[in-house]
Amino acid sequence: MDSSLLSYAIALGLLNHVYFHKFEPNSAKIPLLFLSLEPAVLILCLGGPISFLRLLLSYTVFWGSLSLSIVLYRLSPFHPLAQYPGPAISKVSKLWGAAVAARGKRHLYLKKLHDAYGPYVRTGPDELSIVDATAASQILNAGGLVKGRFYETGRDPSTPPPILSLIGEAHAKKRRAWNRAMASLRDYDPVIQKRAMQLVTCLGEQPKGTAVDLALWFELFTYDFMGDLAFGGVFEMLQQGKDTHGLGNKIHSFFAASIILGNIPWILGLFNLLPMVQRSIQEFNDLGQGLATHRIKTGATHAKDLWYHIADEEGLEKQKPTLQDAAADGIVAIIAASDTVAHLLASLMWCLVSNDQCYKRVQQEIDDTFVVEDDLVDFSKHQQCVFLSACINETLRLFPPAPVNGGTRQVHLNSGGGRDIAGKYIPEGTSVYMPTYVLHRRSDYFSRPAEFVPDRWLPSSDLALKHNASAFMPFSQGPANCVGQHLARREVQAVIIFLLKAFEVRFAEGFDGAAWTETVCDYFTATRGPLLVELTRRG
Ligand code: HEM
């Protein structure tokens, strides 16, 4: 046995742990290079024969001592997050979390963990999941924590970052343009109306007695609508009755890769080198550029569209964004605004069709508000449907389209110490999730948390229910909350009003309605399986 090689390999393993713990790298590229060479260099330095057996010993002992030291430290009471409970496997590595995320069931896994361990759970060596409304509000609002490394995923560093990845002044600048775009939502009413009416027409043309996949049709609606708003009307998927651009697949595989990478961000630099990943990022960049070029060539479908604002066509900013810059935001508009709204629409229809009483109340409210068909286009009347609004809130509570509330927030390393948040100490280097799916289902915030009870949102309700509205944050909170939330509500309100005025909707024969929620997955935004219904024209 080569005892000096053994002791040096152990010591080198421990030294590497101490070094990389203190100077945590941003990317695994350089550390992996060092870690793969060091045991061989050690043999060269110690002298003696360079045999296969000595190499094997050096590598095994070096990697073994490094891994054991990391595992023991992460489980030890000396780790800064030692006071937070959580499963041992999560304390040791994020790989388990990444595997759960890859299956799309992260929201359900987090719910189980919080049920077992309470509102603060250690979900990774340096990661917490928090479902405390006060803490979430402090983290997300001004003066809270900044965005974590999660937001670097899915982007090639050579491409301009979209609003979602930015912080500080760069974020504020883009946010001003987005705020202008969302300041006068009435400008977009004609587009919502046109697409909602087209949706109803397309649905009415489906052969009688066939099952219609509402989840798919809602996606086509939102793609067409956002295509109109951001890029001058490019997709026309409703007309074709299918996702002709494969946009759904592109978005879903992009997000799936992003959340897996978001769980183990140090792998980012390596992962981005894979041709498959480069291709996917490139595809998105090309799509954005192509759509932007199309919009510039053809102009807007109506006076001032979203592109007009995000590309600053009015020239209000000192420095106009480049085409690439604006295209990056245009793509965010398609991604952030289509799948989320489609999910809300599908979940809402599922909730209504599953709850006959609520369905009838919504239908009655719509019939009372819009006595003649022409009234439907009067968007000011849409807001009068207060029970429908309550149903929208209740759906957002139960099925938030961003189940984990976006990416992580972080107390970055070397940022001047940890932070006190709602009476708890969050040490430097900690990433934090605030899964709304779990927060919204805490029984001490909302009574009967798993039930669809829209009345809890009505001021006139005489139900004596616990109702903590500050724990309701489907659109996140603070300066980087969802800038499109009012547009989303406006779209959903309109589509449901047009749809329920035109049709009776029931689950299709043989469709297992009760099992539909099991098809919901969390890939940053939620995805869902087909929602098969039967539509009957109302008289
Ligand atoms: C039901 C529909 C929607 C839901 C539940 C939703 C939810 C969210 C959430 C949770 C965030 C924060 C993400 C994070 O911090 O990582 C967000 C950000 C954002 N959303 Fe939405 N969203 C919806 C619809 C829309 C629509 C219709 C638009 C645009 C037309 C939009 C545009 C954006 C943008 C641009 C951001 C980034 C804001 C910033 O960084 O300042 N969203 N959304």
Band (265; pLDDT cuts 50, 70, 90): low
* Whether the CB of 402 sits within 6 Å of ligand 1: yes
- Residue 254: what pLDDT? 76
Residue found by looking up tokens 């001047």 in the block = 416
- Residue 477: what pLDDT? 96
* Whether the CB of 484 sits within 6 Å of ligand 1: yes
* Whether the CB of 476 sits within 6 Å of ligand 1: yes
Alpha helices, H only, 303-447: 306-310, 323-354, 356-369, 379-382, 386-398, 436-439
* Whether the CB of 435 sits within 6 Å of ligand 1: no
> Which candidate, 227, 220, 185, places its Cα nearest to that of 200?
220
Question: What average pLDDT does this structure show over 423-451?
Answer: 96
List the residue whose alpha carbon is closest to atom 39 of ligand 1: 480
pTM for this structure? 0.93
List the residue whose alpha carbon is closest to atom 14 of ligand 1: 406
Whether the predicted pLDDT of 25 surpasses 80? no
Mutate to test the pocket of ligand 1, among 482, 486, 489 (most ligand atoms within 8 A of CB): 482
Q: Which atom of ligand 1 is nearest to the CA of 181?
A: 30
* Whether the CB of 407 sits within 6 Å of ligand 1: yes
Q: Which atom of ligand 1 is nearest to the CA of 344?
A: 1
Band (266; pLDDT cuts 50, 70, 90): low
Distance 525 CA to ligand 1 centre (A): 10
Measured CA to CA, the distance from residue 185 to residue 69 in angstroms comes to: 57
Residue 81, CA atoms < 13 Å, CB-side half-sphere: 27
Whether the predicted pLDDT of 423 surpasses 70? yes
- Residue 205: what pLDDT? 95
Distance 475 CA to ligand 1 centre (A): 6
Q: What percent of the chain has pLDDT over 70?
A: 94
Residue found by looking up tokens 């807007």 in the block = 300
* Whether the CB of 480 sits within 6 Å of ligand 1: yes
The 3-state secondary structure of 47-86 reads CCCCCHHHHHHHHHHHHHHHHHHHHHHHHCCCCCCCCCCC
Range scoring the smallest mean pLDDT among 32-36, 351-355, 411-415, 506-510: 411-415
Question: What average pLDDT does this structure show over 108-130?
Answer: 97
* Whether the CB of 392 sits within 6 Å of ligand 1: no
Q: Where are the domains of the chain?
A: 1-75, 149-537
Write out pLDDT tens, residues 374-392: 889 899 999 999 999 999 9
Mutate to test the pocket of ligand 1, among 218, 340, 393 (most ligand atoms within 8 A of CB): 340
Write out pLDDT tens, residues 169-195: 999 999 999 999 999 999 999 999 999
Tell me the average pLDDT of the chain: 90
Residues in a beta bridge with 102: none
Q: How is 289-318 classified by DSSP, letter by letter?
A: HHHHHHHHHH--SSSS-HHHHHTTTT--SS
Q: Which atom of ligand 1 is nearest to the CA of 488?
A: 27
Distance 485 CA to ligand 1 centre (A): 7
Distance 351 CA to ligand 1 centre (A): 22
Q: Which atom of ligand 1 is nearest to the CA of 226?
A: 30
Write out pLDDT tens, residues 227-256: 999 888 888 999 999 998 888 888 887 777
List the residue whose alpha carbon is closest to atom 30 of ligand 1: 484
Q: Which residues, 6 or more positions from 461, have their beta carbon under 8 angstroms from its beta carbon? A: 455
Range scoring the smallest mean pLDDT among 11-15, 266-270, 336-340: 266-270
Q: What percent of the chain has pLDDT over 90?
A: 63
Distance 513 CA to ligand 1 centre (A): 28
Question: What average pLDDT does this structure show over 99-112?
Answer: 93
- Residue 2: what pLDDT? 82
Q: Which atom of ligand 1 is nearest to the CA of 406?
A: 16
Cα angle, residue 473 at apex, residues 167 and 415 outer, rounded to 5° = 30
Write out pLDDT tens, residues 81-98: 999 999 999 999 988 888
Question: What average pLDDT does this structure show over 418-435?
Answer: 94
**Domain 149-537: which CATH number of 3.30.420.40, 1.10.630.10, 2.60.120.580, 1.20.1250.20:** 1.10.630.10
Is 482 among the annotated ligand-binding positions?
yes
- Residue 493: what pLDDT? 97
* Whether the CB of 346 sits within 6 Å of ligand 1: no
Q: Which atom of ligand 1 is nearest to the CA of 306?
A: 30
* Whether the CB of 474 sits within 6 Å of ligand 1: yes
CA 149: distance to chain centroid? 14
Whether the predicted pLDDT of 1 surpasses 60? no
Distance 107 CA to ligand 1 centre (A): 18
Whether the predicted pLDDT of 154 surpasses 80? no
* Whether the CB of 173 sits within 6 Å of ligand 1: no
Distance 397 CA to ligand 1 centre (A): 16
- Residue 319: what pLDDT? 86
Distance 206 CA to ligand 1 centre (A): 32
Distance 511 CA to ligand 1 centre (A): 32
Distance 403 CA to ligand 1 centre (A): 12
Measured CA to CA, the distance from residue 439 to residue 100 in angstroms comes to: 19
Write out pLDDT tens, residues 449-501: 999 999 999 988 877 888 999 999 999 999 999 999 999 999 999 999 999 99
- Residue 165: what pLDDT? 87
Q: Regarding predicted confidence, which is higher, 150 or 311?
A: 311
- Residue 43: what pLDDT? 93
- Residue 450: what pLDDT? 97
Write out pLDDT tens, residues 295-335: 888 877 777 889 899 989 888 888 888 888 888 888 888 88
Distance 97 CA to ligand 1 centre (A): 24
Range scoring the smallest mean pLDDT among 190-199, 207-216, 367-376, 440-449: 367-376
Residues in a beta bridge with 130: 120
Whether the predicted pLDDT of 413 surpasses 90? no
Whether the predicted pLDDT of 159 surpasses 70? yes
Indicate if the alpha-carbon torsion angle 479, 408, 16, 35 is positive or negative. Answer: negative
